[in-house]
Chain A
């Protein structure tokens, strides 16, 4: 019987990739199962009915009625999609009676105020205590101006201090010029960080990375494997070394040069940001603020 090279080659191919085929298959099944579970969760109705329906508290009167309504509609749309609460609260009352506040005092006061506002109204998409969502508190009192982003539940879990800071920079861009856009930037920023899936550009990067990997893979296996010259320098020298080997190394002259080493000093910058903490109501919150 003739030896079937093609059949053997096919067997070799499947044997070579068998582990990887198995891993991809298991991953595919796990992803499909997780996707179905995720879809079901997203289809589930809101569990927390204790929180008020209002999401926009414009006590500092920064928004027009139309802007307020538009923001409410936008929040409703995002809440339905991401299953997290969004609350915007502006106020122009002082955080403290003290005439001047240090940055750390300002941070502590606005953080407590925002957390209490959230906890007392029992916000959170899934539950009234440590529920999923975030609040943007915007203090417009002269000398104490600035915003604080308070996070809770899944938003607290998902957002790092750096990510909170990044969202607040988006808010800062419109803070003075257009508060409506600033609050939308807060909502968009949180939505972006909360994912809602993997961003589209990631798949492009993955495509490029896979192509690079394939090139390396191809190159390493397509090597011609040519032979190298393995003849030693003294391969054919009788006894492995020269005879009557004499040498002379006479010092003719010597000189020394010197050079001064230039040194430079460099400074650094450090950044800050809010972190995890427990509010007066006993709930876990995260977040951060930018004082203006």
Chain B
């Protein structure tokens, strides 16, 4: 399936900057007409007839021949239909700007690292996520110490007060995100967070037009453990914050009990930029909603050497010339 422009027949895509559907060929807004392709797995591009190549979990991509944004209907329907999604809020140009701003101080990065030529290769991906909801009851028992010290005359007094500390609270966690994609590294996806769910909308395939998307690679049950760990870590921190006033605390017991849990399938936006340098890959992931960047800048040894040696030369010249000049005056 793809979206055809009612005015010119070009491919209509979702444009984050314009916050709507847009035909890049005739500049028409909201001129899309849903055009169905093969109901089953698509083999040939419904627009140009070119042979399609895509991965096992791909649900949206661009045709390699005509660049049409295609959506594989069977992979977004039924059990694979996401309940919610956050449409891309940042377009490619905004991402380029964010990357340049973030790495502008990385003087030793290779010359073409932030060039248009390279950055044009970045792709927008809707990553499959499971969003977990937990109703929990948490309690804590422990012994806390408060130590107070004061000086009177030439004597220092230390008062130690020991308390019996207990806390009990219900914590309702909602939409804890866990990515369900093999291609996306878990630790990186955790860093790409947080997403602002105020912009979360019901799933609409239009938002996929022009972007890459996957359906979930793992079931909600398979990913539950990660969500559980995230929830427990957060609950323990909240408990800890509640007894923060003590100088030291000894835990007697601590429980985080899950009373209810649910999960829902959603697509969240992430830009992906792969930069290769000297045989090494430097992947960058950018939150498509707020522009948070995860990735480490590459380093050009040649550039680092040139800049460092010059800095050394300038520093030494200043240190050597100033006293020499003063001694001559």
Name A's B-contacting residues (CB within 8 A).
3, 5-6, 8-9, 13, 16-17, 20-21, 23-24, 27-28, 30-31, 34-35, 37-38, 195, 197-198, 202-203, 206-207, 209-211, 213-214, 217-218, 221-239, 242-261, 263
Contact = CB atoms under 8 A, between A and B. Distances in A.
Given A8-B111, A198-B327, A221-B108, A214 B312 contact: yes
A275 to B, nearest CB: 23
A20 B242 contact: no
B168 A247 contact: yes
A286 to B, nearest CB: 20
B23 to A, nearest CB: 29
18 contacts: A8-B111, A24-B317, A28-B321, A34-B329, A198-B323, A210-B315, A211-B312, A228-B191, A230-B193, A234-B234, A234-B238, A236-B174, A237-B173, A243-B171, A248-B166, A253-B162, A254-B160, A257-B157
Contacts of B155: 258-261
A222 B304 CA distance: 8
A255 B158 CA distance: 8
Given A6-B111, A27-B318, A247-B242, A261 B156 contact: yes
Given A9-B111, A209-B319, A222-B304, A237 B328 contact: no
Contact of B308 (A217, A223, A252, A257): A217
B122 interface: no
B106 A225 contact: yes
A237 B210 CA distance: 34
B297 to A, nearest CB: 5
| Residue among B166, B241, B312, B329 with max Cβ neighbours from chain A (10 Å) | B312
B48 to A, nearest CB: 29
Contacts of A222: 108, 299, 304
A3 to B, nearest CB: 7
B248 interface: no
B319 A252 contact: no
| Residue among A17, A31, A244 with max Cβ neighbours from chain B (10 Å) | A31
Given A218-B308, A238-B174, A31 B328 contact: yes
A73 B131 CA distance: 95
A257 B166 CA distance: 27
Contacts of B318: 23-24, 27
B154 A263 contact: yes
B195 to A, nearest CB: 10
A17 B167 contact: no
Interface of B: 102-103, 105-108, 111-112, 115, 117, 138, 143-144, 151, 154-176, 190-191, 193-194, 231, 234, 237-238, 241-243, 292-297, 299, 303-304, 306-312, 314-325, 327-329
Nearest to A249: B163
Given A8-B111, A34-B328, A206-B320, A236 B168 contact: no
A247 B166 contact: yes
Contacts of B111: 5-6, 8-9
A228 B292 CA distance: 10
B311 A254 contact: no
Contacts of A249: 144, 163-165
A197 to B, nearest CB: 6
Contacts of B307: 13, 16, 221
A24 B306 CA distance: 17
Contact of B164 (A211, A226, A252, A254): A252
A233 B244 CA distance: 14
B324 to A, nearest CB: 6
Given A37-B328, A227-B191, A245 B169 contact: yes
Contacts of B241: 233
Contacts of B143: 252
A236 B316 CA distance: 54
Contacts of B171: 237, 242-243
A23 to B, nearest CB: 7
Given A213-B315, A247-B242, A221 B105 contact: yes
Contact of B304 (A209, A218, A228): A218
Contacts of B193: 230-231, 235
Given A31-B328, A34-B329, A236-B174, 9 more contacts: A5-B112, A9-B111, A214-B308, A222-B304, A227-B294, A235-B193, A243-B170, A247-B167, A254-B162
A83 to B, nearest CB: 13
Given A213-B311, A236-B175, A251-B163, A3 B108 contact: no
A255 B160 contact: yes
Contact of A239 (B117, B172, B243): B172
